[in-house]
């Protein structure tokens, strides 16, 4: 897809990878619909895209809430008159061991609230946004592209039962939607980043961060713009669908 003049919706666009995605596509000449739960961050992302000279609008919405998603997608199509791309980027972590043991005693476990919060945003949120975007793309009958953010952790990362389940689900849903939506000219891909320098990762304790980066073959965290570049490849390459692109500095879980 040549994204010049096309409308692309980015969820979780207030910061981190989402902001980089917004700027990447702004520099390519796309119009941006930026969705997030944080109004201040969203305004900053919007302003940065506008500086590039493209139209960028903010949508304060919660991807885990059906009414919120439907309302935001209605507004996007009313404002821009079209929706050509969706990047399902919004995500959260609520890490905990399934069962935590200290000195032979069980001292904690992943709570149902931790499980549910991550499933709601990272799995249900992706489902809701993709469903609403696909419906609108099908109605316009000019095709489109949907890219979902999975993760290297989909293979199974300690302390991330909830996140792993959601991100494995995202990779699997990508295959289903690629098959279901190909007949409408809609391609669906995923990107599975390794560890990327964003507020999500920088909020980790320094010891935990050092432990995480030491086995990375390239010896460093990825940068958000390197993930945006990979998503850009999926948009541009018309043969790409139903696959998950791994951008992880060579790390394997
Ligand atoms: P981030 O820095 O935490 O940014 C996530 C953004 O999503 C925030 O602006 C956040 O807003 C927003 N958000 C959270 N819940 C939302 C909801 N319910 N509805 C709408 N927006 C919501 O995260 P990131 O590191 O850039 O990660 C982006 C994506 O890449 C996520 O899907 C993540 O799982 C995936 N990923 C990241 C890494 C990494 O190393 N960073 C690795 C693999 C995959 P608030 O500020 O209001 O919370």
User: Per-residue pLDDT tens for 164-212?
Assistant: 999 999 999 999 999 999 999 999 999 999 999 998 788 888 888 888 8
Average pLDDT in the chain? 97
pLDDT, residue 206, reads: 85
Range of the domain at 238: 7-195+225-242
Which amino acids bring their CB within 6 angstroms of ligand 1? 11-12, 14-18, 36-38, 41, 62-64, 89-92, 121, 125, 149, 151, 193, 195-196, 198-201
For residue 32, the surrounding DSSP H or E stretch is: strand 31-36
Residue 23 in any domain: the answer is yes
Q: Which 8-state DSSP code applies to residue 156? A: T
What is the percent of the chain with per-residue pLDDT over 70, rounded to a whole number? 100
Ligand 1 nearest atom to the CA of residue 16, by list position: 26
Segment 214-241 shows an average pLDDT of 97
For the chain, the first-to-last Cα distance in angstroms comes to 32
Q: Which 8-state DSSP code applies to residue 185? A: T
Segment 3-18 shows an average pLDDT of 98
Facing residues of 99 across strands?
A: 109
Give me the active site residues, please: 163
> How many angstroms separate the Cα of 154 from the Cα of each of 44, 118, 163, 194?
31, 13, 8, 10
Residue 44 in any domain: the answer is yes
Instruction: Look at the chain and report how many structural domains it folds into.
Output: 1
Buried b (16+ CB within 10 A) or exposed e, 19-57: bbbbbbbbebebbbbbbbbeeebbeebbeebeeeebbbb
Q: How confident is the model at residue 148 (pLDDT cuts 50, 70, 90)?
A: very high
Residue 117 in any domain: the answer is yes
Q: Which of 10, 11, 17, 195 to mutate to test the pocket of ligand 1 (most atoms within 8 A of CB)?
A: 17
Segment 15-29 shows an average pLDDT of 98
pLDDT, residue 199, reads: 82
pLDDT, residue 125, reads: 99
Residue 214 in any domain: the answer is no
Give the model confidence (pLDDT) of 75-132 as tens digits: 999 999 999 999 999 999 999 999 999 999 999 999 999 999 999 999 999 999 999 9
Q: Which of 10, 20, 37, 208 to mutate to test the pocket of ligand 1 (most atoms within 8 A of CB)?
A: 37
Residue 236 in any domain: the answer is yes
Residue 220 in any domain: the answer is no
pLDDT, residue 212, reads: 81
pLDDT, residue 203, reads: 81
Residue 249 in any domain: the answer is no
Contact 150, 227 (CB under 8 A): no
Q: How far apart are CA 118 and CA 62, in angstroms?
A: 13
pLDDT, residue 207, reads: 87
């Amino acid at each position: 897809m040549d994204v010049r003049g096309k409308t692309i919706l980015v969820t979780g666009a207030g910061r981190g990878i989402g902001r980089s995605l917004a700027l990447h596509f702004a520099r390519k000449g796309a119009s941006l619909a930026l969705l997030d739960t944080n109004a201040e961050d969203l305004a900053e992302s919007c302003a940065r895209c506008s500086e590039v000279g493209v139209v960028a609008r903010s949508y304060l919405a919660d991807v885990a809430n059906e009414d919120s998603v439907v309302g935001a997608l209605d507004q996007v199509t009313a404002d821009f008159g079209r929706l050509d791309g969706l990047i399902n980027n919004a995500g959260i972590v609520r890490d905990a061991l399934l069962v935590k043991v200290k000195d032979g005693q069980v001292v904690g476990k992943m709570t149902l609230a931790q499980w549910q919060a991550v499933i709601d945003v990272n799995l249900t949120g992706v489902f809701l946004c993709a469903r609403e975007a696909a419906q609108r793309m099908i109605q316009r009958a000019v095709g489109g592209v949907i890219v979902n953010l999975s993760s290297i952790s989909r293979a199974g990362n300690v302390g991330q039962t909830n996140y792993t389940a959601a991100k494995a689900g995202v990779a699997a849903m990508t295959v289903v939607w690629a098959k279901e939506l190909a007949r409408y000219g809609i391609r669906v891909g995923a990107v599975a980043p390794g560890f990327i320098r964003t507020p999500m990762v920088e909020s980790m304790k320094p010891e935990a961060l050092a432990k995480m980066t030491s086995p990375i073959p390239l010896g460093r965290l990825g940068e958000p713009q390197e993930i945006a570049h990979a998503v850009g490849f999926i948009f541009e390459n018309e043969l790409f669908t139903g696959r998950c692109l791994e951008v992880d500095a060579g790390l394997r879980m």
